[in-house]
Structure 1
Amino acid sequence: MQTILVTGSNGLTGQKITENVIASGKFNLIATSKGKNRFPVQNGYQYEEMDILDKARITALVEKYRPDAIIHTAAMTNVDTAENNKQEADRLNVEAVKLLMDICNTYHIQLVHLSTDFIFDGEDGPYDEQAAANPLSYYGKTKLQAEELLKASGVKWAILRTILVYGIVKDMSRSNIVLWAKGALEKGSPLNVVNDQWRMPTLAEDLAEACLLAVEKKAQGIYNVSGKDMMSIAELVYRVADFWKLDKSQVQEVSSASLGQQASRPRRTGFILDKTIRELGYQPHSFEQGLELLNKQLG
């Protein structure tokens, strides 16, 4: 049985990987994150506190558990925060990857790394794995830099690029677009929603499954991992409203420019998923199926 070490296991994708491993029993899992374990089930895997910038600690855990693969989900993902804190973004999104690369090289470990659609400028999405990158934001630049480092590293690597991940876990420290839209619609708050950005939102369960498929199949190379449905952010909010039968009248469509956000966002991203479906056996949910799953989890 393969042993996997996961970074950022307290995050949304990290918790979904833990959930999947417990249910499938296919892997030995070492879940790692900063601080205490936030996953409600404590058995069926090991939890270790770990800072992704602490090389001595990571090395000690690798020595102890000898993982076959590391799935690296920890990162600074807030696009405006990265724009305002470039040094911290460099540390978390680039330095941490260098550190893991070195360790994976030394111990012959596969590194499955999560990247983003924000490495693209959004001028001609949806993109395949070979498309030329041109990030508009500092966040996108750090994620692209990490990809380039990995490609040149000599490590057994798989890069999984994803888009706008949504889902729910018991202890949500951060919201995501679906829960934000649902919460605001339920409160009857006015919502300003952009109608000039298009995405293919990704269910967290699908991303977790893709990470584990990449380990199982010892995948190497770049893989696109997202949902199948392309929609504008405004359409996404309308679809959330329709699903939960909420009032759409408080939704105000606005342009991206009117929001005055720190970082530029790509206009239309989206992914061509053929390679991931063919090589990994990836089968994403439709957006409505994803909402159905969230609804069950919300009870």
Structure 2
Amino acid sequence: MVLKVIVTGASGVLGSAVRKAFTASAATEVLSLAHSRSGDGLTKLDLLDEPEVEKVFRDFKPNWVIHCAAERRPDVAEKDPEGAQKLNVEVPDLLARLSKTLKFTLVYISTDYVFDGTSPPYPPSARPNPVQLYGQTKLDGELRILGVEGATAVIIRVPVLYGPAPNNFDTAVNILVGVVQDQSGKSYKMDHYATRYPTCTVDIANFLVKLSAHKKPIPPVLHYSANEPFTKYEMCLVFAQILGLPHSHIIPDAEPPTGAGATTRPKDCKLYTQETEDLGLEDGLGLSLFEEWWMEYLKK
């Protein structure tokens, strides 16, 4: 039997990794949706166009929908709350309703930023308490999905991501490589306050392929995260060591973000992943080691 999978946000860093992993999987047909790009296997679709979304989904008849599309940038969400609300809340609500009527499994990619970062680690059952608009919209998306009775959905919370990307600025981790490489004399103040657990998009994609083949019941909320803690400044030190570049132009800042225009960041949102490990999938979570992955990637 052919597994039919829709991937939203398929031109993004996570979506493209998910698309590649499912496309490589045997007996899988993938419809890759993107907002503004088409060609190269991508189908252009505005997820805010409800009638068109419903038509595309009805015609394709998916078994699984991996919803990667989102406004993922906290600073942008603060500047455009209406846009973040539409993409992060209204679209998941639509997809959950379609899951109910079309009988597919919806996988919603959420974030560790639904937590306030004051009492890690957080199991899936922990009470969310976002401290910024981005985290609130992603939590509201979760609640909309869970509120659609009859929908089959899995919420997967992940931390900050890295992975293969055409441009370093495509992820909050990859962009740090460019900071280290900038030896022009410009100085950078770098966050040394918030602890993060950078996780590879390729690992998440491979995990989702295994999850789609899982025959046992899947909990409604799962956590997927690497365990290695880094501040952004510490990530820069790793990149500087790999690249053999000085890093004196990068100044650690151990203070929480304050002042006009500063977006609040939680201090430590470590996700507890035991429930995910207990699923018993082959190779477990299949997590990469941060420095090891980057050493191999930057060689290319």
Answer yes or no: same fold by TM over 0.5: yes
Question: How many percent of aligned residue pairs carry the same amino acid?
Answer: 24
- AA aligned to 2:115 is F
What's 2:46 paired with? Answer: 51
Q: Of residues 106, 124, 140 in structure 2, which corresponds to 1:145?
A: 140
| Per-residue CA distance 1:158-206 (angstroms, 9 max, x = gap) | 1110111112233x39432332221121122322111110010111111
What's 2:273 paired with? Answer: 273
Q: Distance in 2 between matches of 1:252 and 1:47?
A: 41
Decide whether the 8 Å contact of 2:78 with 2:134 is kept in 1.
Answer: yes
Residue 231 of structure 1 aligns to a residue in which SS?
coil
Match runs of 1:92-131 below 5 Å? 92-131=87-126
Q: Distance in 1 between matches of 2:73 and 2:236?
A: 20
- AA aligned to 2:209 is L
Q: Distance in 2 between matches of 1:214 and 1:153?
A: 22
In 2 relative to 1, CA 81–240 (structure 1 residues): closer, same or farther, beyond 3 Å?
Answer: same
Q: Of residues 288, 295, 298 in structure 2, which corresponds to 1:295?
A: 298
Q: Of residues 175, 189, 194 in structure 1, which corresponds to 2:191?
A: 194
Q: Distance in 2 between matches of 1:193 and 1:26?
A: 46
The more displaced of 52-61 and 1-10 is 52-61
TM-aligned CA deviation for residue 262 of structure 1:
3.4
Residue 118 of structure 1 aligns to a residue in which SS?
helix
1:134 lines up with 2:137 in the alignment? no
What's 1:90 paired with? Answer: 85
In 2 relative to 1, CA 26–206 (structure 1 residues): closer, same or farther, beyond 3 Å?
Answer: farther
What's 2:252 paired with? Answer: 253
Q: Distance in 1 between matches of 2:198 and 2:69?
A: 19
1:217 lines up with 2:214 in the alignment? yes
What's 1:239 paired with? Answer: 238
What's 2:180 paired with? Answer: 185
Decide whether the 8 Å contact of 1:123 with 1:266 is kept in 2.
Answer: yes
Q: Distance in 1 between matches of 2:261 and 2:237?
A: 22
Structure 2 gaps, min length 5: none
Decide whether the 8 Å contact of 1:156 with 1:220 is kept in 2.
Answer: no
TM-aligned CA deviation for residue 119 of structure 1:
0.5
TM-aligned CA deviation for residue 47 of structure 1:
3.4
In 2 relative to 1, CA 136–250 (structure 1 residues): closer, same or farther, beyond 3 Å?
Answer: same
TM-score under structure 2 length normalisation? 0.90
Q: Distance in 1 between matches of 2:198 and 2:260?
A: 23
In 2 relative to 1, CA 196–258 (structure 1 residues): closer, same or farther, beyond 3 Å?
Answer: same
- AA aligned to 2:291 is E
Q: Distance in 2 between matches of 1:174 and 1:253?
A: 20
Q: Distance in 1 between matches of 2:169 and 2:32?
A: 19
In 2 relative to 1, CA 113–167 (structure 1 residues): closer, same or farther, beyond 3 Å?
Answer: same
- AA aligned to 2:191 is V
TM-aligned CA deviation for residue 18 of structure 1:
1.9
- AA aligned to 1:51 is D
